[in-house]
Each structure stands twice: as structure tokens, then as C-alpha cells.
Homo-oligomer: A and B are copies of this chain.
Amino acid sequence: MSEPKQPVVRPYLTTRSLMPENQETPIQFIQSDIVKHKLFYRRNHFSYPALSYSNYWLPIDGLVTSPALLSMNDLLRLPSKTLKVVLECSGDKRSLFEPKVFGEQWEKGAISQGIWKGVPLSALLEHTGIKEGAKEVVVEGYDYGERTDLDQVYTFSRSLPIEKALHPDTMIAYEYNHRPIPFKHGYPLRLIVPQWYAMASVKWIKRISIIGSHFSGPFQSIDYVYYPSKENDNNAFPVTTINVNSTIQKPLDMDILNTGKHSIKGIAWTGKGTVTKVEVSTDNGRTWAKANMDYSDDMSYEWVSWSYEWTILEKGEYTVLSKATDSTGQTQPALPFWNRKGYGYHAIDQIKVKAE
């Protein structure tokens, strides 16, 4: 018998489905502010597309002065930008809605963060020029397939209002964590839209088109829409900016602890603005205390790690909450905004523990 390997203990992605592949980041066990691509959540609507990399060209057309067909080398020669960005699936925490919502049952790990490098979309559009009447920029992915609710085959396509497309940090990325983007995350080119939920950050870009009307593909007009009513589509509005949010990473829900000292740890993030405050309650919201926040240099689009030192004096059960507030004054609500497709969950985070 040979000697066994040293037992390495590490977390894995949590599998939600395989066809298409949907797997969560084990967010409770992520200690870095840069998630390795193997632990970056995977969210797909379809099976992975087949691309011809050796002959990859990016067309930019529609309401542009001079349509372009860019090679990877064309893109790599343009001035680049590097940003650390949190990407959160708008279905993150969907499984927490009550009543429960159909669809992928994401727990708290449809969120990741890393370093994206690419060319600002605005630089490309400066290059092609924009014609009068331009309203939206449509970005189409190479991934396609059938939907349960429609008969046709669709590619995954989304549009941005022209102002968001021209935001200096909206970019056509070609690197993740200083390497070519891993295939499952959009190689060779992925749109990165900071501040918005990640359905906007289209993978495997096939085409960029400027249009003079409102784009109405199913991933914009059917999915990724908040429907406040179970019965009808009244008062529906599109999913865009990430809500202010926080997640307790430690202790784990339903943990059994000793009395004594414990660190409560977590992350907090938001779309518009930056997180200015995280509060923690260890008595189910009766009292709150400020958590310590671990800011880095540039918090524009990053999550902030926070911690709170807790001393458990008495045995018993405790409900621990975390609540983030951002610089625009938004704060996590006590109750989630229920919507039929289960987007944008951002109620106060909650775990229970028992001290014995």
C-alpha cells in the first residue's frame, strides 16, 4: 500500500444544475477579495457555445458612422482599463424568498469578485462613431437555445441604454485575474457592466449593435424583470442596479458554538455608491452595533469585508443579523421585495446559532 496524499481541505462550487451548468460560489468559505475562477459561480441559460477562436472577429454595427469588424489584436492594441468588480446574479439568494419562487434555487453564493481588464466600450464607440437617434447598445452572446415559454431559438442578448454603454467603466473585457478570461466566464470577450446585476455582463460576445429603439429580447422583456404580482404583470420594471446587500460568512447558519469569544464575519456590497456602514445584531434586531469594515484603496465596485467581535455570555439560541447601508442612503430592508421571478433579494441577512 502506498502512502496517501496529504489531506487538503477545500471548498467546491455548489452544483445547482448541469444542463445548463449553474453552480454557486461557496461564498461562506471565500476569504479573499479576489475569487479564483474555479470558485467563480457559473450561471448559464444554455449549453456552452462552440466558437471559432482562430478566426474571431467582433462586429460593431447598426447606428454607427463607420461599422467595424475588430480582431482580438485590434482590441489588445487599444488603451485598456483594469477594475475589481463584484458580479452578482440577480437571482442570488432566490431560495430565501417566501413564498418560494420557481427557477434556480440560488442560496447566497451567486456572487463573486475579481479583476477584469479590457477596453472601455465608449472607446470602441468613439472609434465607430454614433449616429443620431441611437438609443441602446445591444450586445449578443454566442450562447443560444430554446426557452420553456417560447417556441423559437434565441441567443442570449441584452441591451444597455446609451448612457450606461458610454460609462467609462463599462468595458469589453479580455482578461480575468490577469489571464485570458476562462472559457466558462466568457472567453474571449465579455461585457462587464459594473453596478448592474450580472445578466448585463454578456459572455462570449458575438456582436455589438447600436439601435434607435428599445430592445425587447426575452432576456430583457420576459426575464430579468421584477413582477411584483404573482397573478399578472402589473407594475413590472426591469432589473438593473445591484441592491445594497450583505452576507454573514461566519458563523454558519445553525452552528453550535461554545460560549465565549467569536468573530462574526461577512461581506457587504452595493450597486450605486459605496457601502458606508454595516450593522450587526446578535439579538434578532433588538439592538445593533457597528461592524468594523476592511476598506481597500478603491471601493468603487468591490465588496467590503466586515467583522464584529462577539462574546457569548449565556448558553442559548441566538439570531444574528447583518444590515448594510450605502452612500446613496439605501439600506437593507427587514423583508425582501417579493417578485414572481425572484430577483434582487436583499433583505437583512440572518443566521441562527446555538451556544452550549
Contacts and interface: CB of A to CB of B under 8 A. Distances in A.
A257 B148 contact: yes
Interface string A1-19: 1111101011111111111
Interface stretch (A96-104, A113-121, A162-170): A96-104
B29 A254 contact: no
Contact of A18 (B29, B105, B148): B29
The 7 closest A-B pairs by CB, nearest first: A4-B183, A12-B12, A11-B15, A7-B48, A102-B354, A9-B21, A15-B26
Interface of A: 1-5, 7, 9-19, 21, 23, 26, 28-29, 48, 53-54, 72, 95, 100-105, 148-149, 180, 182-184, 187-188, 252-258, 317, 352-354, 356
B13 A12 contact: yes
Contacts of A256: 102-103, 148
B7 A184 contact: yes
15 contacts: A1-B180, A4-B183, A9-B18, A12-B14, A12-B15, A14-B15, A15-B28, A17-B252, A102-B255, A102-B317, A104-B254, A148-B256, A148-B257, A148-B258, A148-B356
Nearest to A341: B256
B149 A4 contact: no
A183 B1 CA distance: 12
A9 B54 CA distance: 23
B253 A105 contact: yes
A71 to B, nearest CB: 11
Contacts of A12: 12-15, 23
B7 A18 contact: no
Contact of A53 (B1, B18, B101, B104): B1
Contacts of A257: 148
A182 B4 contact: yes
Contacts of A11: 15, 18
Contacts of A48: 7, 9
